[in-house]
Amino acid sequence: MRQSSLVVVANRLPVDDSVARDGACEWRRSPGGLVSALHPILQHTPATWVGWAGGTGPAPSLPDIDGVRMHTVALSHEDIRDHYEGFANATLWPLYHDSVEQPAYHRRWWEAYQRVNQRFAEAAAAAAEPGALVWVQDYHLQLVPGMLRALRPDLLIGFFLHVPFPPPELFMQLPRRAELMLGMLGADLVGFQRAQAAHNFAQLATKVLKVPATDRRIAIDDRVVRIGAFPVSINMSEMESLAARPDVLERARQLRSDLGDPQHVILSVDRMDYTKGIEQRLKAYSELIADGHIKVRDTVMVQVAVPSRERVEQYRILRDRVEREVGRINGEFGRVGEPAIHYLNQSFSRADLAALYRVADIMAVTPLRDGMNLVAKEYVAARVDDDGALLLSEFAGAAAEFQQAYLVNPHDLDGLKLTLMHALEASPTDVADRMRSMRGHLRTHDIRAWVHGYLTALDRTGSLAARLTA
């Protein structure tokens, strides 16, 4: 097989689940997320992406996409159930998001997690040319760096965690805490979204592994592993261009007309996930209507909830709860042809998302916990006229960069309602000043800055970063 000097290893390949009859594949672009972050870099760089194609059975052979080789890893039904739905998303995900839902622990899930991580490590080892850079992504594959180092000590290995890393008192609950940490420490550089996460990791290295550690370096096995915060970002210029396209502007005008040309449109775009604060947001909106602070005809809400992990029971239960609450609110406050909440449980194209961003006077991004939240950054990028208000949870990673947003504690229902009203009633000057400041920050902290910063820290010469982000 062909080998590459740059290998990205992630749970999923960045392709559509279905391949067209002519064999063509396209990049799978979800709102926010890993693919949106890496796509603009990889499409101009000879590279291999190692990941799962989405089905069960033998790994399919996929064509290159934008010059990037697709190296598929096979997963069985049991692998998906025990590794992906089990250990990754019913053990690690809730634990890393402050136990919003109670994590579950099963030994067979851990066995599957080890087995699947080993398979990914072997695939990466086969795809990497001598001395290559392998960049391992996220919580599904935390054992891969250590396994890969054992297979290919010649490689330069990076690991980046896109989700939050929890405080020591939560992480210590994990039955396999030491193995997970040793897996991550197989990398040369471990990156996190926020400095607090790196601090948590360093504390745990001292406590669990009994090794010397600071918030920048951890010494282990005669090596020094560097750690740090590298807040992930987006391709701002791409979203700006998309949001200014005539067809997108026309679509935005049509959407606003379809909504009844209200004074205010509140938009939320989330994966259907219990960490996103969807229920709290709906409750705040309905109470503002009930209290007479807003009227449905004047202030409509659009809630996009992209289907997610629908085979995991907690997610099915959440969807049922959200849909019942939407039904209750519309039944109580809506009128014929005038629902209070326009609820869309579906995926959207990039162009349609850009149109929604242009329609929204208020973008409500209020997760209970989030590693970054790139939707917040996409909204800021799309507001090319420096208008629009971002209502942002202080528990999203983006809050560290967007201090000018209307920041809120989503657990505080009264505070959420008050801040939402503040954003709705803010003067155009205040809104524009805040948006202009956030857009200025995003312009200098875009996806290329993220990749350049991480890769410069990884290879410490700057040559690799300069080549990939030129």
Q: Which residues are catalytic?
A: 162, 370
- Specify the pairing of strand 389-393 against strand 362-365: parallel
Cα separation, 284 vs 419, in Å, equals 10
Q: What letters, b where the CB count within 10 A reaches 16 and e where it falls short, cover 375-403? A: bbbbbbbbbeebebbbbbbebbbbbebbe
Cα separation, 206 vs 241, in Å, equals 47
Instruction: Give the CA angle between residues 176, 125, 152 to the nearest 5°.
Output: 80
Cα separation, 416 vs 106, in Å, equals 37
Alpha carbon 87 to its chain's center: 19
Return phi, psi of residue 271, to 5°. Answer: -70, 150
Report the SS3 class of residue 258: helix
- Specify the pairing of strand 128-137 against strand 362-365: unpaired
- Specify the pairing of strand 217-220 against strand 223-229: antiparallel
Task: Answer yes or no: are the C-beta atoms of 226 and 213 closer than 8 Å.
Answer: no
Strand order in the sheet with 47-52: 68-72, 47-52, 4-12, 128-137, 156-160, 189-192, 223-229, 217-220
The amino acid present at 70, given as its one-letter code, is M
Torsion, Cα 180 185 187 189, to 10 degrees, reads: 120
The amino acid present at 142, given as its one-letter code, is Q
Q: How many helices (H) does the chain have, and how many strands (E)?
A: 18, 14
Instruction: Give the CA angle between residues 251, 253, 254 to the nearest 5°.
Output: 65
